[in-house]
Amino acid sequence: MLIKKKPSWDKFNHNDVTPEEVYQQRRHLLKQIGFLGAGTLLSFPAQAGLWDLFSDDKSSEHFKQAGLNFKKQPAYDQWIYGDETPEAKVISHNNFYEFGTSKTDPIDNAQSFQVSPWQLRIEGEVERPMVLDYDALFRLFPLEERIYNFRCVEAWSMVIPWIGFSLADILKKVGVTSKATHVVFETLYDPEQMPGQKNRFVGGGVAYPYVEGLTLAEAMTELTFLSVGLYGKTLPPQNGAPVRLVVPWKYGFKSIKSVVTIRVTDKQPPTSWNRLAPNEYGFYANVNPKVDHPRWSQASERRIGQGGLFSAKRINTLPFNGYGDMVGDLYKGLNLKVNF
Ligand SMILES: Nc1nc2c(c(=O)[nH]1)N[C@H]1C(S)=C(S)[C@@H](COP(=O)(O)O)O[C@H]1N2
Ligand SMILES: [Mo]
């Protein structure tokens, strides 16, 4: 399948995207020749060299043409190259209620969404507040590619190759004050562009702007990612362009899209889904197969893009979505059934 498009949100000029099969085959080959196993043994330049053997990949050129590069991060890849959910699924099966509540509404309704100019404010309990414009999002910090498992509270999941940087990089740059305990995130509020913000039936009853929050410790942990791209390209609008949070050990609703404000605070903030249905969606929202949603089990998940034609493969859900070794310590002594 040749995915050919040049939508308005695509600010960095590029040509046709590599046909998906070629991309997958190349990754399969890398896997076969032990690129990933070797990745832990080889120095980074050696890994990069090996990757370059296959670098007719237009999708990474997309970033390169803009003078941008990203470093692959095998350390996070319990999900190896070749395991990713097909790009076509990642960009067409979305939750982004600002553009409508069905899975295909975001791809259908978000294509003219303006992502540039953009301003991301970092404010509140910080020593040096900052405003990042569109270009700064891509240039201020070294970009990394990380393949993360992504688990929606609705019990479907995908494996997604994100590009971005750790939220901690920004927080270190602005310097949080001694009062800081939590971090709040807000999506753009622009009802003219986002039909769901104009009409509560389209927007699923959420009070906009969409807001999310983390504890400071969660925000500072390396795994917490600000994504500006996926599959080697800038984010499509339906996935939260130009910048969105990715918190892979939490249910997907924590991974707020199209962020304009990051505010460091001294108290736990209200969050969109918790406000709407507090008995169903907690503040923590850590992926937990042992704590069911009141209306369905969380013990397993449908892996989108894998399995048969009509039914996705069902796999067991892991505590903290498989990232317990990296984040479990954050919750020592906390009752996860009460603090769901
Ligand atoms: N602003 C905003 N962010 C959002 C949402 C939303 O409706 N609005 N949906 C959330 C939910 S429920 C999920 S599962 C993920 C989906 O991300 P994806 O479409 O990139 O897979 O985005 C999250 N971030
Ligand atoms: Mo979700």
Output helix, strand, coil percentages for the chain, rounded to the nearest 5.
30, 25, 50
Whole-number pLDDT of residue 32:
52
Q: What's the start-to-end Cα distance of the chain, in Å?
A: 41
List beta partners, residue 225: 166, 246
Q: How far is the CA of 316 from the centre of ligand 1 (A)?
A: 22
Ligand 2 centre to CA of 250 (Å) is 10
Q: Which atom of ligand 1 is nearest to the CA of 196?
A: 7
Index of the ligand 1 atom closest to the CA of residue 257: 3
Buried b (16+ CB within 10 A) or exposed e, 278-311: eeebbbbbbbbbebebeeeebeebbbbbbeeeee
Report whether pLDDT(73) > 80: no
Annotated binding residue at 304? no
> Does 33 have pLDDT greater than 90?
no
What average pLDDT does the chain have?
Answer: 85
Q: Which ligand has the shortest distance to the CA of 187?
A: 1
Handedness of CA 275, 106, 17, 88 (dihedral sign): positive
The class level of CATH for 7-331 reads: alpha beta
Q: Which atom of ligand 1 is closest in space to residue 245's alpha carbon?
A: 24
Does 11 carry a binding-site annotation? Answer: no
Extents of the domains making up the chain: 7-331
pLDDT tens readout for residues 235-280: 999 999 999 999 999 999 999 999 999 999 999 999 999 999 999 9
Q: What is the tally of helices (H) and strands (E) in the chain? A: 12, 13
Neighbours of ion ligand 2 (CB under 5 A): 95, 152-153, 252-253
Residue nearest to atom 20 of ligand 1 (CA): 239
List Cα–Cα distances, 283 to 58, 68, 152, 155, 268, in angstroms: 40, 36, 15, 18, 9
CA distance 245 to 1: 29
pLDDT band at 60 (very low <50, low <70, confident <90, very high): low
Place 295 in a pLDDT band, splitting at 50, 70 and 90: very high
Per residue in 101-134, pLDDT (tens digit) is 999 999 999 999 999 999 999 999 999 999 999 9
Torsions phi, psi of 65, nearest 5? Answer: -60, -30
Is residue 94 a known part of a binding site?
yes
Closest CA to 336 of 249, 221, 273: 249
User: How far is it, in rounded angstroms, from Cα 91 to Cα 107?
Assistant: 7
Taking CA atoms only, the protein residue closest to ligand 1 atom 4 is: 256
Residues in contact with ligand 1 (CB, 6 Å cut-off)? 94-98, 152, 187, 210, 239-240, 252-253, 255-257
pLDDT of residue 25: 54
Instruction: Starting from the CA of residue 257, give the closest ligand.
Output: 1
Q: What percent of the chain stands above pLDDT 70? A: 79
- The full length of the chain comes to 340
109 annotated ligand-binding residue: no
More confident: 180 or 43 = 180
The pTM of the full predicted model, rounded to 2 decimals, is 0.85
